[in-house]
A and B are shown apart, each in its own frame.
Chain A
Amino acid sequence: MYRYDSIDQQIINERVAQYRDQIGRHLAGELSVDELRPLRLQNGLYIQRHGPMLRIAIPYGMLSATQLRKLAEISRRYDRAVGHFTTRQNMQLNWPQFEETPDILAELASVQMHAVQTSGNCVRNITTDHFAGVAPDEWTDPRPYCELLRQWSTFHPEFAFLPRKFKIAVNAAAEDRTVIRAHDIGLDLVGNEQGEIGFRVFVGGGLGRTPILGKLIREFLPRRHLLSYLDAILRLYNRYGRRDNMYKARIKILVQALGIDEFGRQVEAEWSQLRDGPTTVPDAEFARLAGHFAPPPRATLPAEDAAHAARLRNDPAFANWVKRCVHAHKTPGYTAVTLSLKALGVAPGDISDVQMIAVAELAERFSFGELRVSHEQNVVLADVRQSDLHEVWLIARRHRLATANIGLLTDMICCPGGDLCALANARSVPIAAAIHEKFDDLDYLHDIGDISLNISGCMNSCGHHHVANIGILGVDKNNEEWYQITIGGQQGNAATIGKVIGPSFYAQEVPQVIEALIGVYLEHRTPSERFIDTLQRIGIEPFKARAYAGRDRRRTAKVDNREEEAINA
């Protein structure tokens, strides 16, 4: 993974000093609450329901074991010994002390970490595939490009005060695992006929209150032009994006207002002034960055390990785990392992300090000391030998990191919701817990098969409910928590925004409604169909009818859109 040189380190150290000074000036009364707010947000610090929340950046989800140990130590020393992974592959601490946040940032800087631009109206953490560098369907490693973008976006002087937040994702695999079209800019790494590397560029996607999939703005952008082209898009957005209404301030609204053709024309006009300038990236820089992501020294192994095959036959629990949590790897004899953070009774994405240490040890022993955070809020060990899987499983199981539910109904994406977040209209974690309890039987879960269920506690959509097969959105109706359900959304190459099935439900009803929806699927499916396939074949009506059977709903909940602190994971 990328290692700082002395310049990178100095920049981050200077950032800590700057932030410490800002907090000091605030406490001394020289910097007002309103003046501090954008500054602290660009250092990841929110003021939440119960106090501050600190969002730590994990650039494109990559962590070393050393960094995870530091996070464990920080969570113990400055928080309540638990961290929460977000859909931007970051980590949130929910109980830090305001006055101690400069010390936390200093601790992070000691392991080449920070909380830069994890919030605020600026370019946020770049995200990518959690199987980057190991996925068999990937044609080049996206991480050097992510790092290039990290450096470009870090303290970009022109784009620190955009109309609204700005999210970028990079995909380089045949199957998009990063939801690029749900981003302000989505970059799809492709090659052209001349063998050049470049990007298909999508712009104007985003979830939130107005979910829109990004539109193709450029079929092929040679990689050397990446930064000048993004400068052109961002400059147009900075100048002409709406600033009068924060709900209409994302770039997707500007792209819609102009139309993608006119927006594209304006981008080309701006870019024609910028291209081939000093921001053009030389091949030597791509090579330098790629050097940081060179494959680890993997052994030459047989594709199939005989002892592993025997364990699969003899141990059904292990076999179940392998089926759901172990993924194909491009190197024979190796696998990628997802450690599930979706155990029953634990908030999705939460990880305790003890678990962090356990994961760090697993990474050191079995996966070259590195790991990744997925946007589905799990942890991935990307380079595990097939012959080590059983031992990894035994250790993971001891730490409740081996729930065999990846890609199944209880592998829910879920925001922290109203228990912690100041913006939420409704709680989300108790809904996730209630659903998990109803579907805790693993055989039943495996029988239901591949499905995504995501929960957001408000319209900001941190829980990505729009792109789930079943999406649950917390809404506020006369100060009561209600839940609106969408179905038919999906991630991947066929990314789709789900449709609302009708009026919202009480919290207690939600697990029954999910059961009803699943019931329709189980009755109608053909042997090869996933939930989404059946839904697409038979349409939304049978699901809708079953969900509301016997329920009296006269009106739809009013959807409230609190967004004061411009949150989003």
Chain B
Amino acid sequence: MPRIIKHDRIVEDDWQVLTLAAGETPATVILPADPVLLPLPVWLARRAEISGRYPAFGVWIDSHEGPEALTDDIDRLRIIAVNFPKFTDGRGYSIARLLRERYHYQGEIRAIGDVLQDQLFYMQRCGIDAYALRADKDIDKALAGLAVFSETYQAAADQREPLFRRRHALEST
């Protein structure tokens, strides 16, 4: 079974990611067996059908999309995946922060796509807590990417207080 990083550990995971092939549309694509991550447009087009059919489903958001469309029913989603089409496409960091900090999504946020060791630390800071590492990379080694820095300057999803609000207490310990 494929493995992913979840909450700082490597776990087996059988969630499939549905992508639309050429010619398929959100309204007509055949829904596969669960557990499955559906493209955002599929979920938006067929909410009732999907909710009735699956015990376990999630949605994946592409980097050019936004979490705004999800606000009504966000807690019905077991997983929200954020796609990184290329690791240099940084839009997913903003999407993840908005999910956690503005829409208060409590479920799993999973990075999918071009997910590499050297981006994991930033992803974690933005509220992502599961990482489907690119298949050709060594997932055991990549775990180290979550623990690069012991302290950070900014407020983010993992640490709501910026360093300037904590520095004094840290220095006196």
Show the binding face of A for B, using Cβ within 8 Å.
5-7, 10-11, 14-15, 18, 21-22, 30-31, 35, 38-39, 121, 148, 151-152, 154-162, 227, 235, 238-239, 243, 273, 277-279, 281-282, 285, 288
Contacts A7-B171, A160-B122 given: A152-B93 contact, CB under 8 Å? no
* Distance between Cα atoms of A159 and B161 in the complex (Å): 18
CB distance from A275 to the nearest CB of B (A): 13
Q: Tell me which of B11-19, B20-28, B47-55, B152-160 binds A.
A: B152-160
Residues of A within 8 A of B149 (CB): 11, 14-15, 18, 155
Chain B contacts with A in 28-59, Cβ cutoff 8 A: none
Chain B contacts with A in 99-148, Cβ cutoff 8 A: 102, 116, 118-119, 121-123, 125-126, 138, 141, 144, 148
> Does B170 reach chain A (CB closer than 8 Å)?
yes
Asked if residues A157 and B163 are in contact (CB atoms below 8 Å), the reply is no
Residues of A within 8 A of B144 (CB): 21
Residues of B within 8 A of A227 (CB): 162
* Distance between Cα atoms of A121 and B152 in the complex (Å): 20
* Residue in chain B with minimal CB distance to A14: B149
Contacts A158-B156, A239-B66, A278-B162 given: A7-B151 contact, CB under 8 Å? yes
* Distance between Cα atoms of A284 and B91 in the complex (Å): 33
Asked if residues A7 and B154 are in contact (CB atoms below 8 Å), the reply is no
Residues of B within 8 A of A10 (CB): 150-151
Contact with A158, one of B66, B93, B151, B161 (Cβ below 8 angstroms): B93
24 CB contacts below 8 A, A to B, read A7-B151, A7-B167, A7-B171, A11-B151, A15-B149, A22-B118, A121-B88, A121-B90, A151-B153, A151-B163, A152-B154, A155-B122, A155-B149, A157-B121, A157-B122, A157-B152, A158-B97, A158-B122, A160-B122, A161-B90, A238-B90, A278-B165, A279-B155, A279-B162
* Distance between Cα atoms of A22 and B121 in the complex (Å): 14
Asked if residues A157 and B154 are in contact (CB atoms below 8 Å), the reply is yes
Residues of B within 8 A of A277 (CB): 155
> Does B89 reach chain A (CB closer than 8 Å)?
yes
* Distance between Cα atoms of A38 and B95 in the complex (Å): 21
- A-B contacts counted at CB < 8 A amount to 105
> Does B94 reach chain A (CB closer than 8 Å)?
yes
Contacts A157-B93, A157-B121, A238-B91 given: A14-B154 contact, CB under 8 Å? no
Asked if residues B170 and A285 are in contact (CB atoms below 8 Å), the reply is no
* Distance between Cα atoms of A359 and B148 in the complex (Å): 37
CB distance from A257 to the nearest CB of B (A): 16
* Distance between Cα atoms of A14 and B150 in the complex (Å): 8
Contact with B167, one of A5, A18, A162 (Cβ below 8 angstroms): A5
Contacts A7-B170, A30-B138, A39-B118 given: A157-B88 contact, CB under 8 Å? no
CB distance from A4 to the nearest CB of B (A): 12
Contacts A22-B118, A30-B138 given: A238-B153 contact, CB under 8 Å? no
Contacts A6-B171, A35-B87 given: A158-B94 contact, CB under 8 Å? yes
Residues of A within 8 A of B118 (CB): 18, 22, 31, 35, 39
CB distance from A112 to the nearest CB of B (A): 15
Contact with A273, one of B89, B102, B161, B162 (Cβ below 8 angstroms): B102
* Residue in chain A with minimal CB distance to B141: A30
Asked if residues B94 and A238 are in contact (CB atoms below 8 Å), the reply is yes
Asked if residues B165 and A239 are in contact (CB atoms below 8 Å), the reply is no
* Residue in chain B with minimal CB distance to A273: B102
CB distance from B65 to the nearest CB of A (A): 10
Asked if residues A7 and B88 are in contact (CB atoms below 8 Å), the reply is no
Residues of A within 8 A of B90 (CB): 121, 158-162, 238
In this complex, which of A30, A31, A277, A279 has the most chain B Cβ atoms within 10 angstroms of its Cβ?
Answer: A279
* Residue in chain A with minimal CB distance to B157: A157
Asked if residues A239 and B160 are in contact (CB atoms below 8 Å), the reply is no
* Distance between Cα atoms of A259 and B86 in the complex (Å): 29
* Residue in chain A with minimal CB distance to B127: A157
List 9 tightest A-B contacts by C-beta distance, closest first. Answer: A161-B90, A157-B125, A157-B122, A285-B164, A151-B153, A158-B93, A278-B155, A18-B148, A279-B155
Residues of A within 8 A of B121 (CB): 157
Asked if residues A35 and B116 are in contact (CB atoms below 8 Å), the reply is yes
* Residue in chain B with minimal CB distance to A240: B91
